[in-house]
Amino acid sequence: MALQLPTPPALRRKRRREAVRTAAFLSPWLIGFGVFFAYPLLSTVYFSFMRYDGFTAPTFAGLKNWDYVFNHYPFFWTGLGNTLWLVAVMVTLRVAFGLGIGLLITKVKTGAGFFRTAFYLPYLAPPVAATMAFAFLLNPGTGPVNHLLGKLGLPQPGWFTDPSWSKPALTLLALWGIGDLMVIFMAALLDVPREQYEAAELDGASPWQRFRYVTLPNISPIVQFAVVTGVIQTMQYYTQAIVAGKVASGVIGGSGQQFEPGYPHGSTWTLPQMVYSLGFQRFDTGSACVVAVILFAISMAFTSVLLRRGAGLVGED
């Protein structure tokens, strides 16, 4: 055997060096993954089966917390219903509106830079500030929106103070901050090959047909991406709902006053608020963790859709 293969020990040493190098580069995240993801996740599941008030030692509770949340906690189904309402209506309207604004901005010839900035800016407004602004704009007493509606002889809804208008008001706020979707759709629309439009035009396709048979198939991966990430974001919908409720109910901040959950009439009450309320206001760690596990399960279900559909999201090298 004259033929000499690369010496195995040297190869093994090289492999080991590469493994150490990879681990070194990944190490910040590996620690983060363990301490801030895996550990608290397991711990949440664990606490959902325990009775724990944060002070005395936890005791095993079996399924009692689960039974409490599903069958006795008065606000669970309201919160789940509101969250699903927001997922259905807010996400749908945001995607449709974002696509519309994206289309509009690609058609604008004069002042395109101005319009793009104007459409984008509200997305940057910090959520608390944006919600405060809308609480003022939409307040039924002196708010400019109802003032103008009144001048036009239109009905003046109670917005954040009326249980049947509070979620539409939050939806309006979400549509105001459409900038992220606008930019994503704009980029996707500009990527649609021009020749396809020209070919469709030669075939005598109407504008609607061009949109339906050229634009939509080309951008459908982006639409799916927007829907799935929209659902995941809306499952976490928290800040705007809680701030709107607090401001509209007139009970605000700092003093430790409890405001009516999901004011008005529980109409802005969402799943994430439940975790906060049960865990940090009622010290019912077990039940809070039950809600957290439910929130986790729904979010992960949608994330797995994203991972499976969005092969492009993962990309390859």
DSSP at 161: G
Site for other proteins, residues 145 to 204, rule: CB under 8 A: 146-147, 176, 180, 183-184, 187-188
Number of residues that bind other proteins (CB under 8 A): 105
What are the tokens at 33? 């993954």
Helix residue ranges per DSSP H, the chain: 8-33, 39-47, 64-67, 76-85, 91-107, 112-124, 127-137, 144-151, 166-176, 179-191, 194-202, 207-210, 216-235, 239-249, 271-276, 285-309, 311-314
What are the backbone angles phi and psi of residue 73, rounded to the nearest 5°? -70, 115
Binding mask 85-104 for other proteins (x = CB under 8 A): ----------------x--x
Query: Of 66-74, 85-93, 208-216, 240-248, which segment contacts other proteins by CB under 8 A?
Result: 240-248
Q: Sign of the CA dihedral 10, 16, 22, 24?
A: negative
Question: Pick from 47, 159, 160, 263: which binds other proteins (CB under 8 A)?
Answer: 47
Query: Of 3-11, 70-78, 111-119, 194-202, which segment contacts other proteins by CB under 8 A?
Result: 111-119
Question: Pick from 93, 125, 149, 192: which binds other proteins (CB under 8 A)?
Answer: 125
- 117 near other proteins, rule: CB under 8 A: yes
Report in angstroms how near the CB of residue 213 gets to other proteins at its nearest: 20
Q: Which is nearer to other proteins, 101 or 170 (CB)?
A: 101
Q: Which is nearer to other proteins, 196 or 299 (CB)?
A: 299
Backbone Cα Rg of the chain:
26
What are the tokens at 191? 């990527």
Report in angstroms how near the CB of residue 115 gets to other proteins at its nearest: 5
